[in-house]
Amino acid sequence: MTEQVYFFDTTLRDGEQTPGVSLQTPEKIQIAKALAQMGVQVIEAGFPAASPGDLEAVAAIAREVRGTTICGLSRSVISDIEKAEEALKEAERSRLHIFIATSDIHLKYKLKMTREEAIEQVKECLAFAKGKFDEIEFSAEDASRTDLDYLCQIFEVAIEGGASILNVPDTVGYMTPEEFGNKIKYIKDHVKGIDKAIISVHCHDDLGLANANSLAAIKNGARQVECTVNGLGERAGNAAVEEITMALTMRKDIYGVDAPLDTKQFTRVSKLVSKLTGVVVPPNKAIVGSNAFAHESGIHQHGMLNNPETYEIMTPESVGAEKTNIVLGKHSGRHAFEDHLERLGFTLEADKINTLFKAFKQLADRKKHIYDDDLMALVMDNLDRKQAVSLIHHHYKSDEIGFAYADVRLETPDGILEDAAVGDGPVDASIKAVQRVIDKPLHLQEYRMRAITEGKDALGEATVKVECNGRLYHGRGISTDIVTSSVNAYINAVNSIYLTEALELKK
């Protein structure tokens, strides 16, 4: 039987540490369900000790998501383990992911500990964690810059303490493939009891090598990869689940292992994550970028028409990127609507579907053909996000020479407030009006508008980055009216600011 690689998805933990990203619990649950459907074996749902909001989100995912292991991150600190236990108690299968930094630079400057003290701490924590989780993964933070013999020593301690997965993170993204592969081989050859454990890797993309390093590790005996959808994560991000899987699948002749994920869901899950996080996928991104299967040059097109294999190593269908057809219109019934939502991977309660169906009918009045992407946008716009600020009224007027006026009325934590502003165009005026209402130093850093599907009546999706007190916040909004989408995106970002600040007060 062929060996398989286990996929440990950390979109909701490391991915959520992408600058500017903050997901709310209902959004995290939708992503977790999509990941489970896609077939990942482990979902790292968050870091329960980080804040009460994180703990609540991990607990909700543990309660609602089935068919996969739910994992919580924890420092090597007793109170962190207790929080993880509380968060994971309703999981079908639970995993503690406990870590300690092991490189001399981290030990000295961050933990202010000796190597021996770190080993003692790990022993104590594992003894405490034993029996509280279905399985334990131990991570040596900054493993790639850790003295290799000390790394082997601490891994032996972890195995004795009951850890069955040993993770080797390239925390700073410094490794090259051959070097990293050799490290994995060394660990496999030198750690006593390693045959009872699975070697895992967690690679960062600072040098653009996260995927290559992960693959080199697999070639040398690693059997779990930690990765994220679209390669999200701290700084340059993590290894990308879709890229590693397709490399293992297309080049099984080289790697000789199974990557048992449902690859046909990659495009859908990529879009879901991109929309909910507000992080746009570059068009040239492998596998899930919008140009990944586009052939521009005449010579290529000619070859493709004669035989697709001339320039295409895999089909768009294999990753779910085939052209979407018109799915629904004004006369589609509730049943057809519900069927399509299910096919798109959304499992929702009956009253939620009723609300969405109403929104769908309203959209169908304004837009003739409703595509899959429109439906996804509709669902995502109607997830039950907590709202600190919501738009009650918005009105704008503009003339041909670029002068515009806008007024807004908002419900805010300080009551219902309204204001008006003038600007160079309706979007500018509307955003200025919102800024006048919100008593915070807001700076619009980035603004994008794109049509979700084709046609004059397409939904416009606005994404914004707003800076407030030195931090970035993403927001997105959709509507058939681009001024409304822009204001929705801006208010969406403002909501993230309020919610992040509220969580920080609780910490």
Pick 27 or 141: Cβ nearer Zn ion: 141
Interface with Zn ion by CB under 5 A: which range of 7-15, 98-106, 265-273, 450-458?
7-15
Task: State the minimum distance, in angstroms, from the CB of residue 226 to Zn ion.
Answer: 8
Query: Residue 1: which residues within 8 A CB-CB, separation 6 or more?
Result: none
d(CA 323, CA 286): 17
* Contact present, 492 and 475 (Cβ < 8 Å): yes
* Contact present, 187 and 155 (Cβ < 8 Å): yes
Task: State the minimum distance, in angstroms, from the CB of residue 411 to Zn ion.
Answer: 38
Task: State the minimum distance, in angstroms, from the CB of residue 83 to Zn ion.
Answer: 20
Task: State the minimum distance, in angstroms, from the CB of residue 277 to Zn ion.
Answer: 16
d(CA 147, CA 64): 41
Query: Rounded to 10 degrees, what is the CA torsion of 307, 308, 313, 315?
Result: -140
Pick 14 or 381: Cβ nearer Zn ion: 14
Contacting Zn ion within 187-246 (CB under 5 A): none
**CA nearest neighbour of 400 among 375, 425, 432:** 425
Task: State the minimum distance, in angstroms, from the CB of residue 465 to Zn ion.
Answer: 22
Task: State the minimum distance, in angstroms, from the CB of residue 234 to Zn ion.
Answer: 5
Pick 230 or 463: Cβ nearer Zn ion: 230
Quote the radius of gyration of the chain (alpha carbons, Å): 24
Residue choice 7, 8, 14, 248 for contact with Zn ion (CB under 5 A): 14
Q: What are phi and psi of 305, to 5 degrees?
A: -65, -40
d(CA 222, CA 484): 49
Interface with Zn ion by CB under 5 A: which range of 1-9, 12-20, 260-268, 386-394?
12-20
Interface with Zn ion by CB under 5 A: which range of 10-18, 31-39, 95-103, 438-446?
10-18
Task: State the minimum distance, in angstroms, from the CB of residue 210 to Zn ion.
Answer: 10
d(CA 28, CA 368): 31
**CA nearest neighbour of 165 among 185, 130, 194, 190:** 194
Pick 237 or 475: Cβ nearer Zn ion: 237
**CA nearest neighbour of 268 among 329, 343, 178:** 343
Interface with Zn ion by CB under 5 A: which range of 14-22, 26-34, 90-98, 307-315?
14-22
Pick 47 or 346: Cβ nearer Zn ion: 47
Give the binding-site size for Zn ion (rule: CB under 5 A).
Answer: 1
Task: State the minimum distance, in angstroms, from the CB of residue 151 to Zn ion.
Answer: 17
Q: Kind and range of the H or E element at 423?
A: strand 415-423
Interface with Zn ion by CB under 5 A: which range of 13-21, 93-101, 332-340, 345-353?
13-21
Pick 14 or 243: Cβ nearer Zn ion: 14
Pick 232 or 464: Cβ nearer Zn ion: 232
Task: State the minimum distance, in angstroms, from the CB of residue 330 to Zn ion.
Answer: 47
Which DSSP string corresponds to 163-227?
--EEEEEETTS---HHHHHHHHHHHHHHSTTGGGSEEEEEEB-TTS-HHHHHHHHHHTT--EEEE
Pick 13 or 367: Cβ nearer Zn ion: 13
| Distances 492 to 359, 377, 426, 445 between C-alpha atoms, Å | 19, 14, 18, 15
Task: State the minimum distance, in angstroms, from the CB of residue 197 to Zn ion.
Answer: 20
Sheet containing 471-479, strands listed edge to edge, beginning at the edge strand earlier in sequence = 442-451, 460-468, 471-479
Pick 74 or 484: Cβ nearer Zn ion: 74
**CA nearest neighbour of 29 among 37, 19, 21:** 37
Which 3 state secondary structure label does DSSP give 388? coil
Pick 18 or 484: Cβ nearer Zn ion: 18
Pick 86 or 206: Cβ nearer Zn ion: 206
Is 44 among the residues that bind Zn ion (CB under 5 A)? Answer: no
**Number of residue whose CB is nearest Zn ion:** 14
Task: State the minimum distance, in angstroms, from the CB of residue 203 to Zn ion.
Answer: 9
HSE value, Cβ hemisphere, 13 Å, CA-based, for 212: 12
| Distances 431 to 458, 466, 497 between C-alpha atoms, Å | 22, 11, 16
Task: Report the interface residues with Zn ion, using CB under 5 A.
Answer: 14
